[in-house]
Structure 1
């Protein structure tokens, strides 16, 4: 599963700094009606699907070989204007191989993680597809869905990817903020204000209810990981009486702010600390006795001089930071991180550049940023930005670039052209059936305490997995998957469980 990236204040692409590939969170603003859909929405709820090959869908090539078919669902861009412009949501389906229970709608995280291929991934790692039609979804603005959120061209993104954003002088901050404002302007120019203002989690939750109905399911069965847990909490709050079963993995506290980088700072520093202990067992570990200083010694020189690679680009500081944080997502990746750091100590950056390339293609960067700005708490308080920068550096010393001046730029969302549509809050879902939350004790991107809080807010069963990884559900972990599958099939929620 993907994790969500912290609301980083230093780059328009929130998926490529401290907290990288991360993807999850939030919960739509309260006050949504739990009543039946307005009659003016009937045409959306009663439409018919035309299943076809996924080959003509962006990202759909090869899915047919796995038995997956695709279709499109029409939804209003603005649910308050159902007769206005519409979007076409791309969905995929892997039919149940055994006695079918229901459809299970899924979300891989992000925000901005492509979903059409998720049914294949879940079928490869779990028995979910034996009893359920597994539904993958490219949420509005993403992938094969139309229209798309578009801000940067690929060439512009590759240039921005190398932008350091480490100059904390007054002039450097002014330049960074100008880049943020220009980025927002390009989003408006290439996407349009209407779509840009209606791609938040609030709207996606309503899309999922339409998809549920069009599939013929009276009630929703849902699995979401990382950001998908925020989406699930929003669905639960908006349509509590239409939920059959729900599993929320790598869950985040819905009262937390997606634009606050402290969660990522603390989580990834803790993951690095655990990695450093493991690395020290190997005589080849290049971190030395002070692991924080050892990492800084390896990556901060890249600000001034990229490391040599077989690729003519070389390994720059932003890509090194992206790769290191990505490899902290799961303890199984730690040997690759050690390999990359050993190479870097020898002046080479090939392994870390390869990882950075893979990471930068995982989440749609523009949709990711658009959703964060719609779901987060924006600030134009420069003193607060400077204080946050100070706290982040103190919380994550391994990742401190040493350029602090006591000043910091405002975040991208301070320049966003449309107002937020959600704010962090405690979800209220009267009548919601028993759901299940899965939280991992050593999750760097969505800390365990957040999942525990979400379970408490929703009165959900809590499965605690002891380990260092982002997410644990439907990944082949028997002590987690067994209770989940029994719950999804028989609607028998487990008692709170701790395993691993």
Structure 2
């Protein structure tokens, strides 16, 4: 606490008495021109960092009933929409808290990824982990979505449902001009409904700054953080901005900081690798819908799903079945559902796959997802470049090659080519100085964020890398003792695991 110094005169200086101070103040006042007013104080970020949280019921929050039943509290944190203008419009960030059941060490801020995945319920997933004994687990809906406000809004629910073929699920037979027109309309709609100010400030840097305000509001001098998938990009960005404010950080299923968040060619190769692993597992059963020869799985899969391009089955079109397949490839626990869905499809039924596709997509978070990508990925404004990306993606993932348009000299530009606000960040090698030891966790067969990106991130941050030999997206807090035990120990007492640790199921 700051204490004023005792009033003593320094050698060679005159100590002014109260009467003298008053006279000088009067003199200064009389000499100040009305044309040169002092004016109000310049707004700063101090009030945001000094705010006190009001924890209470999660009623009225998205998913609040389930949170409340688990003993989770909720609150909102006030942040500026534009950190360059602290006195301007504000946003309210919804956070949740699962209190530590034992002697508390710190608060653990979490993020599930996305961009655009609501995180308010993430503490539920960690409730049975040992970290919940010593750490308050904090969930957070990032700016623009969920229980936070205001929202990024580009389409109504009805528009989202009817527009999936162009924006969420590419229609391989659509005319290029038609697709681009709808993409441009979507981009303009985002600006109109959301407002340009918020749309320009939903990116990773702004969310990382929100995380620091949340840290302060929680009463923590330093941040303890767990982020998965895109949450690792948030973590590495926070580390760039505030390296001296990091206590501990675990980054699971990392996004390569030097590439686009959703690099199409890289992720295509990752999902093909996961598809190959699924096909090999499926082929062990005599009734596998892809056959018993894994080498023919790509061809058999395309033969099964390609007819949906021109002949959807009661709402299940080609894009939906690809979406359902991708969703199932994130984790082996979903492989049996994919097998059942493909078996049903072979019999002319598509309800199961349609349900999986619908569950995977969410209207509000999809808008935030696209807004962040358009702010931070290298924008493609040349159809020939777009066509080259499509060709390379198809070559990297032959299972998902719809066999149309390969000879096209051009391809439609996506919504980011028409985005109404300029980029706010670009892929780069993070420059971090003074960061304490952090931990990176990665699976060798991660479909969404392939393993080489984890190696890059760990090297860049000087982090300890834990490698899990398996095919899934994310390995921490998945019940893998070899991964979880060192991660928990690190988060609680800051003992970093040995570098180069490798784990497997067996």
SS in 1 for 2:45: helix
Partner residue in 2 for 1:329: 330
Residue 263 of structure 2 corresponds to residue 257 of structure 1: no
Q: 1:362 to 1:107 in 2, by over 3 A?
A: farther
1:185-196 matches, cutoff 5 A: 185-196=188-199
1:315-464 matches, cutoff 5 A: 315-361=316-362, 364-404=365-405, 405-406=407-408, 407-464=410-467
Q: Highest relative contact order (Cα 8 Å, sep 6+), 1 or 2?
A: 1
**Superposed displacement of residue 335, structure 1:** 1.4
What whole-Å deviation, never above 9, does each CA across 1:317-362 have from its counterpart, x for those lacking one? 1111110111111112111111111111111112111211211139
Partner residue in 1 for 2:153: 150
Residue 250 of structure 2 corresponds to residue 247 of structure 1: yes
Number of positions where the alignment pairs a residue of Structure 1 with one of Structure 2: 455
**Superposed displacement of residue 363, structure 1:** 7.3
Residue 177 of structure 2 corresponds to residue 166 of structure 1: no
What whole-Å deviation, never above 9, does each CA across 1:408-435 have from its counterpart, x for those lacking one? 1112100100011111111111000000
Q: Is the 8 A contact 1:254 1:424 kept in 2?
A: yes
Residue 84 of structure 2 corresponds to residue 80 of structure 1: yes
Q: Which runs of 5+ in 1 are unaligned?
A: 1-37, 308-312
**Superposed displacement of residue 260, structure 1:** 2.8
TM-score normalised by structure 2 residue count? 0.88
Q: Matched residues in 2 for 1:376 and 1:168: separation? A: 26
Partner residue in 1 for 2:58: 54
SS in 2 for 1:55: coil
SS in 2 for 1:50: coil
The partner residue of 2:102 within 98, 102, 107 is 98
Q: Is the 8 A contact 1:96 1:133 kept in 2?
A: yes
Q: Which runs of 5+ in 2 are unaligned?
A: 1-41
Q: Is the 8 A contact 2:95 2:139 kept in 1?
A: yes
1:203-242 matches, cutoff 5 A: 203-242=206-245
Q: Matched residues in 1 for 2:43 and 2:419: separation? A: 33
SS in 2 for 1:433: coil
Partner residue in 2 for 1:123: 127
Q: 1:408 to 1:276 in 2, by over 3 A?
A: same
Partner residue in 2 for 1:24: none
Partner residue in 2 for 1:292: 298
TM-score normalised by structure 1 residue count? 0.89
Residue 45 of structure 2 corresponds to residue 41 of structure 1: yes
Partner residue in 2 for 1:14: none
Q: Matched residues in 1 for 2:262 and 2:130: separation? A: 36
Q: Matched residues in 2 for 1:166 and 1:408: separation? A: 12
What whole-Å deviation, never above 9, does each CA across 1:132-163 have from its counterpart, x for those lacking one? 01010000001111100000100001111244
Q: 1:488 to 1:259 in 2, by over 3 A?
A: closer
Q: Which has the larger radius of gyration?
A: 2
**Superposed displacement of residue 61, structure 1:** 2.3
Partner residue in 1 for 2:472: 469
Partner residue in 1 for 2:205: 202
